[in-house]
Amino acid sequence: MASTAAAAAAAAMVPKVALRSGNATPMPAVGMGTASFPLVPEATKNAVLAAIEVGYRHFDTASMYGTEKPLGEAVAEAVRRGLLQSREELFVTSKLWCTQNHPDLVLPSLRETLKNLQMEYLDLYLIHWPVSIKPMPITSRNKKEDAVPFDVEGVWRAMEECQRLGLAKAIGVSNFTTRHLDKLLAVATIPPAVNQVELNPAWQQRTLRAYCAEKGIHVAAYSPLGGQNWDGTGRNAVLESDALAGIAKARGKTVAQVALRWIYEQGVTSIVKSYNKERLKQNLEIFDWELTDEDQLKISQIPQKKIFEASDMFSQEGEFRSVDPADLDIVEE
Ligand SMILES: NC(=O)c1ccc[n+]([C@@H]2O[C@H](COP(=O)([O-])OP(=O)(O)OC[C@H]3O[C@@H](n4cnc5c(N)ncnc54)[C@H](OP(=O)(O)O)[C@@H]3O)[C@@H](O)[C@H]2O)c1
């Protein structure tokens, strides 16, 4: 089938990264992000099918996004259509939400995730945030009084059990600072394979990248193009950057491609969301050209501004009663 051959050829162009912990197959250096609000499951399913057709073999979801089911349906359909031989050709990541960030809820949450995905295993299971909220149904706005101390040791033991059971080939974290990683590494038997964090030319995470390189933790970048207006300002410090626009013009590339190429050149994997087939394709076309030293210098001078803070998941009113808000701080330059 011609389209299958084209998809396989495009997928083969994407370099892969061997993770230093766990038994996952190497991770493709660009993955498709599936988070999209409001959720339209059919749109997610169609976008994942389009992504498989243009060569994506790495997908990022989370119980929080509600996209596990449509992702699973798209993968099953891709196998039925012959676009994939089997699910084994993919690298699939999902995440444990804060309301499930409790030792006894980790394994049941992973089993639910696998059921949603119609899969036997995940390639990578991440603790979504270093934040625990009382067990309850998932919502995007939580009360501050519902935040409870994060039992990092107990939760990580349960994550390790998920890997031992073969339900997750590798385990890791997301939104962890060096301070959170220090605490985790002090108790871990299996070190985290990945830390997925906000990272792009406008939030470069130099301190965290250096720390993770030293500890053998691979860094994955979410919001590599500056996100989906998560802060509600309508501004995008990446796609509207004059510095990136100048480089894009000089290289004959798009601003998005320059941002993704820069991330790749830092040894970081991009998790980039597009539900548009042309942009999905464009976002994979970053492996056969390079940025110059001068481009790198210009990018290093881009003003830094973080989009996400842990406090964003709590409503403004109320008080934190049983956690120190400083423990939730994830801003680290
Ligand atoms: N671990 C975490 O806490 C966390 C937090 C946030 C996100 N994530 C993950 O990371 C993924 C990506 O991050 P993100 O969704 O925040 O944002 P992103 O990937 O930085 O940006 C996505 C936005 O850029 C647009 N876009 C994509 N390619 C483009 C291109 N070539 N040119 C111009 N615009 C383009 C997309 O719109 P179109 O769809 O219209 O192309 C979308 O609105 C998420 O989907 C999710 O899987 C994880």
Query: In b/e form, how buried is each residue of 55-72, taking b as 16+ CB within 10 angstroms?
Result: bbbbbbbbbbbbbbbbbb
Q: Which residue has the higher pLDDT, 5 or 109?
A: 109
Does the pLDDT of residue 8 top 90, yes or no? no
The confidence score (pLDDT) of residue 6 equals 81
Residue to probe by mutation, ligand 1, list 68, 197, 205, 228, most atoms within 8 Å of CB: 228
Does the pLDDT of residue 1 top 60, yes or no? no
Q: Which residue has the higher pLDDT, 10 or 194?
A: 194
| Whole-angstrom distance, CA of residue 255 vs CA of residue 242 | 9
Question: How is residue 252 written in tokens?
Answer: 């004959």
Does the pLDDT of residue 2 top 70, yes or no? no
CA 204, 151, 315, 68 dihedral sign is positive
Q: Which secondary-structure segment (H or E) carries 171?
A: strand 168-174
The confidence score (pLDDT) of residue 330 equals 87
| Whole-angstrom distance, CA of residue 318 vs CA of residue 138 | 19
Q: Are 70 and 96 in contact (CB under 8 A)?
A: no
Does the pLDDT of residue 140 top 90, yes or no? no
* Residue corresponding to tokens 């590599």: 224
Q: How far is the CA of 46 from the centre of ligand 1 (A)?
A: 16
Is residue 222 in contact with ligand 1, taking CB distance under 6 Å?
yes
Domain assignments of the chain as residue spans, ordered by start: 2-328
Does the pLDDT of residue 62 top 90, yes or no? yes
Q: Which of 58-67, 224-233, 249-258 has the lowest mean pLDDT?
A: 224-233
The confidence score (pLDDT) of residue 319 equals 92
Does the pLDDT of residue 264 top 70, yes or no? yes
Q: What is the tens place of the pLDDT at every residue in 283-295?
A: 999 999 999 999 9
**Which atom of ligand 1 is nearest the CA belonging to 280?**
28
∠ CA 65-172-193, rounded to 5°: 135
Is residue 273 in contact with ligand 1, taking CB distance under 6 Å?
yes
232: confidence class by pLDDT, cuts 50, 70, 90: confident
Residue to probe by mutation, ligand 1, list 101, 199, 225, 278, most atoms within 8 Å of CB: 225
| Catalytic choice (56, 65, 121, 264) | 65
223: confidence class by pLDDT, cuts 50, 70, 90: very high
Does the pLDDT of residue 170 top 80, yes or no? yes
Q: Which residue has the higher pLDDT, 137 or 333?
A: 137
Residue to probe by mutation, ligand 1, list 261, 272, 307, 308, most atoms within 8 Å of CB: 272
Question: How is residue 139 written in tokens?
Answer: 């919502």
Q: Confirm whether 125 is a catalytic residue.
A: no
Mean pLDDT of 152-161: 98
Residue located nearest, by CA, to atom 8 of ligand 1:
222
Strands (E), 199-330: 218-222, 269-272
Is residue 23 in contact with ligand 1, taking CB distance under 6 Å?
no
Mean pLDDT of 255-279: 98
**Which atom of ligand 1 is nearest the CA belonging to 95?**
1
Which residues, including other chains, have CB under 8 Å from residue 317's CB and lie 6 or more apart?
A: 144
Binding-site sequence positions for substrate: 128
pTM: 0.97
- Cα distance from N-terminal residue to C-terminal residue, the chain: 49
Domain spanning 2-328: CATH superfamily: NADP-dependent oxidoreductase domain (3.20.20.100)
Q: How far is the CA of 237 from the centre of ligand 1 (A)?
A: 13
141: confidence class by pLDDT, cuts 50, 70, 90: confident
Q: What is the tens place of the pLDDT at every residue in 276-325?
A: 999 999 999 999 999 999 999 999 999 999 999 888 889 988 999 999 98
Q: Are 286 and 264 in contact (CB under 8 A)?
A: yes
Binding-site sequence positions: 128
Pairing of strands 27-28, 16-17: antiparallel
Mean pLDDT of 17-44: 97
The confidence score (pLDDT) of residue 127 equals 98
The confidence score (pLDDT) of residue 256 equals 98
